[in-house]
């Protein structure tokens, strides 16, 4: 009997361990398996592609109905065009959109020459750390790490410009490049790599700044307690003072 119970307990532990390590099927449906995780991606600097938030402008010298149309790509990846209604364009390059419009407008117009331009309002990269302009930045192309860091106004008192990190996230093959921005001041531009859309740049603090942040975090709870006690004493003193004045008012 004891042997049977022992075997059952071991089996139960194995089942529990298997349940804990086995990935949830619903979770697997939502895990990112490609690039940054966005649906529409590409290299806009090789050939611009359109994504949600970008603006498309269409001109056609033969047809005034579709001349100088400007539309913003909606959240579902479509734009509303005359005679066609909603047309899905997200993820397509400029030449692909022109070919698509020729195909869709050919039953309506005899002569067609659609020209498409894309305003990249939806392209971005990110910069964090010891900089004044932190967070999401508009990506307009032809940008280097040096330009990105300088444009974000690094905090000279705390920024470690010798260990800047350029991070290119990917679930299979992430890339992290360490860049010494200070070396570029002496003319060495070896690691002045080009920033791509959705890159993350991190400017770390110096060792001295890290120690300062550590002390600040260490003292922060004490400061909160002291501040709370000070406020409580101030409020209590204020109530006592008002009470005394009220009593004096009663006498007179």
Above 60 in pLDDT, residue 124? yes
Q: Which residues pair with 175 in a beta bridge?
A: 168
Q: What is the pLDDT of residue 14?
A: 53
Q: How far apart are CA 242 and CA 252, in angstroms?
A: 16
Assigned token pair, 147: 């330009």
Cβ 173 vs Cβ 194: under 8 Å: no
pLDDT single digits (tens) 165-176: 999 999 999 999
Domains in the chain (CATH in brackets) are: 55-119 (3.30.1950.10), 124-207 (3.10.560.10)
pLDDT single digits (tens) 83-121: 899 999 999 999 999 999 999 999 998 888 899 999 888
Mean pLDDT of all residues belonging to the chain: 83
| Angle at CA of residue 55, ends 49 and 57, nearest 5° | 95
User: Residue 250's pLDDT band (boundaries 50, 70, 90)?
Assistant: very low
Question: Looking at 156-170, 175-189, 216-230, which range is the least confident one?
Answer: 216-230
> Is residue 234 exposed (0-12), middle (13-18) or buried (19+ Cβ within 10 Å)?
exposed
Average pLDDT of 195-224? Answer: 87
Q: Which residue has the higher pLDDT, 47 or 239?
A: 47
pLDDT single digits (tens) 65-81: 887 889 999 999 999 99
Q: How far apart are CA 179 and CA 149, in angstroms?
A: 11
| Angle at CA of residue 77, ends 71 and 78, nearest 5° | 50
Q: How far apart are CA 41 and CA 169, in angstroms?
A: 13
User: Residue 212's pLDDT band (boundaries 50, 70, 90)?
Assistant: confident
Above 70 in pLDDT, residue 239? no
Assigned token pair, 201: 């740049």
DSSP collapsed to 3 states, the chain:
CHHHHHHHHHHHHHHHHHHHHCCCHHHHHHCCCCCCCCCCCCCCCCCCECCCCCEEEEEECCCHHHCCEEEECCCCCEEEECCCEEEECCCCEHHHHHHHHHHHHCCCCCCCCEEEEEECCCCEEEEEECECCCEEEECCCCCEHHHHHHHCCECCCCECHHHEEEEECCCCCCEEEEECHHHHCCCCCCCCCECCCCCEEEECECHHHHHHHHHHHHHHHHHHHHHHHHHHHHHHHHHHHHHHHHHHHHHC
Q: What is the pLDDT of residue 5?
A: 46
Q: What is the pLDDT of residue 249?
A: 47
> Is residue 136 exposed (0-12), middle (13-18) or buried (19+ Cβ within 10 Å)?
exposed
Assigned token pair, 93: 């390059």
User: Residue 8's pLDDT band (boundaries 50, 70, 90)?
Assistant: very low
User: Residue 37's pLDDT band (boundaries 50, 70, 90)?
Assistant: confident
Q: How far apart are CA 2 and CA 237, in angstroms?
A: 71
Above 60 in pLDDT, residue 127? yes
pLDDT single digits (tens) 18-36: 555 566 888 888 898 888 8
Q: What is the pLDDT of residue 121?
A: 81
Above 60 in pLDDT, residue 6? no
């Amino acid at each position: 009997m004891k042997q049977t119970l022992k075997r059952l307990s071991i089996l139960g532990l194995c089942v529990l361990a298997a349940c804990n390590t086995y990935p949830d099927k619903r979770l697997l449906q939502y895990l990112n398996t490609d690039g940054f995780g966005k649906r529409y991606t590409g290299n806009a600097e090789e050939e611009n592609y359109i994504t949600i938030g970008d603006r498309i402008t269409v001109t056609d010298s033969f047809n005034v109905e579709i001349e100088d149309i400007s539309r913003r790509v909606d959240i579902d990846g479509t734009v509303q065009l005359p005679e066609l209604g909603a047309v899905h364009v997200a993820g397509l390059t400029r030449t692909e959109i022109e070919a698509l419009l020729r195909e869709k407008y050919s039953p309506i117009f005899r002569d067609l020459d659609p020209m498409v331009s894309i305003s990249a309002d939806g392209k971005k990269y990110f910069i964090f750390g010891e900089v004044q302009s932190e967070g999401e930045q508009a990506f307009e192309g032809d940008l280097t790490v040096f330009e990105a860091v300088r444009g974000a106004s690094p905090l000279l008192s705390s920024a470690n410009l010798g260990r800047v990190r350029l991070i290119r996230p990917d679930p299979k093959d992430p890339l992290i490049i360490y860049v010494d921005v200070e070396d570029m001041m002496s003319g060495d531009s070896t690691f002045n790599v080009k920033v791509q859309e959705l890159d993350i740049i991190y400017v770390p603090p110096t060792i001295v700044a890290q120690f300062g942040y550590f002390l600040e975090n260490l003292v922060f709870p004490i400061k909160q307690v002291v501040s709370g006690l000070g406020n409580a004493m101030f409020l209590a003193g204020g109530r006592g003072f008002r009470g005394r004045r009220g009593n004096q008012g009663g006498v007179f």
